[in-house]
């Protein structure tokens, strides 16, 4: 049996860039083919939402960069003047979190560049994304290509690129050891600290390949022959960024660099893992094998989450993730409007959860251990090829 905990419904009000009246997650999501097409959804969205404005995108990015610079200068100048206890226990941790959140917004803009959502010009998109991601030690083209495959195969049990759920028979023995409160705490902390760098460097939690795969290896199976040169360029950019950080450490000191840059980067990496996980894992959304999967149903397995004011700081990758999967080239500044436009058509296929993020993370780690075909559900019966998350090992 699945655990009985049910998520709370949420609405987002126009003032909060959230959407009211959305279908509650009071039961499983429908797993039947939806009665609408992607063309139906596109027609419901105002045409201007698909216009990628270089000026507007640049303005949002510039605002983020100015806030990041001001915060770094203020922290570097003012925090050392505080008493030691206040610096260590309050000031620096607060700076790490605030700066990390702002940098997540920049990370999301770089990610949008990979989707072509920053401007109408491919060269501009790649140049901006390349520089922004290199500054955060992310190989831009490598991530761009693997992430597009994630979008192309979302919800598929065979081809999903990352965070692929396992059937019960493939669950490793150590899951049983960690299937308890202390084990879950350890799992969450380890995932937030190391999940993103392990995925990028070693494909941990990624789609299985025949041999070792890494976003830094241009010859691994993740990439096609025509992508390998750009993967090498991404590697070079990360190497140069790392060398630049080394020079900064020499000039300003390792401790200064770790405080100004290293701490916020840990927060960024943790949020990227958290956002990726919570926008795709929920006990009431299905997964599909090859007999049932199609792109539209797979894209509708995304879940919108409410991070409060951080929705804006994160450029709405959190609370408009469903529309992002349906129309990934849409700029983030139109995503809330587009979500409002399509929700009447999506109906119960639109999934949104307002459960507080910490509580939701604990619930999902507890309940979403593996997937299994099961009778019953929100679509009114059993269906071969449709799988649901389970938690009994």
Summarised one tens digit per residue, pLDDT across range 303-323 is 999 999 999 999 999 999 999
C-alpha 264/C-alpha 271 separation (Å) is: 11
- Output the pLDDT for position 154: 97
Name every residue whose Cβ is closer than 8 Å to that of residue 290 and which is 6 or more positions away in sequence. Answer: 156, 157, 158, 385
CB distance 357 to 305 below 8 Å:
yes
- By CB atoms closer than 10 A (0-12, 13-18, 19+), residue 182 is exposed
CB 57 within 8 A of CB 132: no
Task: Supply the pLDDT for residue 378.
Answer: 46
Spell out the alpha helix ranges (H) of 203-319: 228-252, 254-257, 263-278, 295-299, 310-313
Rounded mean pLDDT, 368-378: 75
CA distances, 191 to each of 96, 269, 277, 284, 353 (Å): 18, 10, 10, 22, 22
Nearest alpha-carbon partner for 322 in 34, 54, 16:
34
Q: What local confidence, expressed as pLDDT, does residue 168 receive?
A: 86
Q: For position 204, what pLDDT does the model report? A: 94
Tokens linked to 249: 């450490």
pTM: 0.90
The pLDDT, as a whole number, for residue 382 is: 54
Angle between the 228-252 and 140-152 helix axes, to the nearest 10 degrees? 130
- How many residues are given for the chain? 393
| pLDDT (0 to 100) of residue 65 | 98
Higher pLDDT, 382 or 131: 131
Residues 6 or more apart in contact with residue 336 via CB below 8 angstroms: 12, 17, 18, 19, 316, 319, 320
Token digits for 44?
A: 């419901």
Give the SS3 label for residue 273: helix
Token digits for 284?
Answer: 């009431």
Better-scored residue on pLDDT, 4 or 64: 64
DSSP state letter for 156: B
**Rounded mean pLDDT, 250-276:** 98
Dig out the tokens for 274 from the structure: 């958290």
140-172: pLDDT as tens digits: 999 999 999 999 999 999 999 999 998 888 887
* Range scoring the smallest mean pLDDT among 115-124, 273-282, 345-354, 368-377: 368-377
pLDDT band at 375 (very low <50, low <70, confident <90, very high): low
Lowest mean pLDDT among 5-9, 43-47, 112-116, 235-239: 5-9
Confirm if 279 and 302 have CB atoms less than 8 A apart. yes
pLDDT tens per residue, range 216-237: 999 999 999 999 999 999 999 9
Residue linked to tokens 């699945």: 2
CA distance 158 to 35: 25
| Sign for the pseudo-dihedral over CA of 17, 21, 24, 29 | negative
Average pLDDT, rounded, for the chain: 91
Interatomic CA distance for residues 231 and 218, integer angstroms: 5
pLDDT (mean) for 181-196: 96
Residue 384: band (very low, low, confident or very high) from pLDDT cuts 50, 70, 90 = confident
């Amino acid at each position: 049996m699945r655990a009985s905990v049910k998520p709370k419904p949420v609405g987002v009000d126009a003032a909060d860039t959230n959407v009211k009246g959305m279908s509650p997650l009071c039961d499983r999501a429908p797993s039947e083919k939806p009665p609408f097409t992607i063309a139906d959804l596109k027609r419901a969205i105002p045409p201007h939402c698909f216009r990628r404005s270089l000026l507007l995108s640049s303005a949002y990015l510039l605002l983020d960069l100015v806030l990041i610079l001001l915060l770094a200068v203020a922290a570097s100048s003012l925090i050392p003047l505080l008493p030691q206890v206040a610096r260590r226990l309050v000031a620096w941790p607060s700076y790490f979190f605030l700066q990390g959140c702002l940098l997540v917004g920049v990370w999301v803009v770089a990610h949008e560049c990979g989707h072509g959502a920053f401007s109408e010009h491919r060269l501009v998109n790649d140049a901006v994304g390349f520089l922004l991601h290199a500054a955060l030690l992310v190989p831009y083209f490598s991530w761009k290509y693997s992430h597009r495959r994630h979008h192309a195969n979302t919800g598929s049990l065979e081809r999903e690129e990352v965070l692929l759920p396992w059937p019960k028979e493939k669950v490793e023995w150590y899951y049983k050891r960690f299937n308890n409160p202390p084990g879950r705490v350890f799992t969450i902390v380890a995932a937030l600290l190391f999940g993103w760098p392990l995925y990028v460097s070693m494909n941990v939690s990624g789609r299985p390949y025949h041999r070792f795969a890494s976003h830094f290896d241009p010859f691994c199976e993740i990439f096609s022959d025509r992508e390998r040169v750009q993967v090498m360029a991404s590697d070079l950019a990360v190497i140069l960024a790392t060398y630049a950080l080394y020079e900064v450490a020499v000039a300003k000191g390792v401790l200064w660099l770790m405080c100004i840059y290293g701490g916020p980067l840990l927060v960024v990496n943790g949020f990227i893992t958290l956002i990726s996980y919570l926008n795709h894992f929920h006990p009431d959304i299905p997964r599909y094998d090859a007999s049932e999967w199609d792109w539209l149903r797979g894209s509708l397995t995304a879940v919108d989450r409410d991070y409060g004011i951080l929705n804006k700081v994160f450029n709405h990758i959190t609370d408009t993730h469903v529309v992002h999967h349906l129309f990934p080239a849409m700029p983030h500044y139109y995503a809330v409007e587009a979500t409002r436009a399509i929700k009447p058509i999506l109906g119960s296929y639109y999934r949104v959860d307002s459960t507080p993020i910490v509580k939701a993370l604990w619930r999902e780690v507890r309940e979403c251990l593996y997937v299994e075909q099961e009778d019953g559900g929100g679509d009114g019966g059993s269906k071969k090829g449709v799988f649901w998350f389970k938690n009994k090992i």
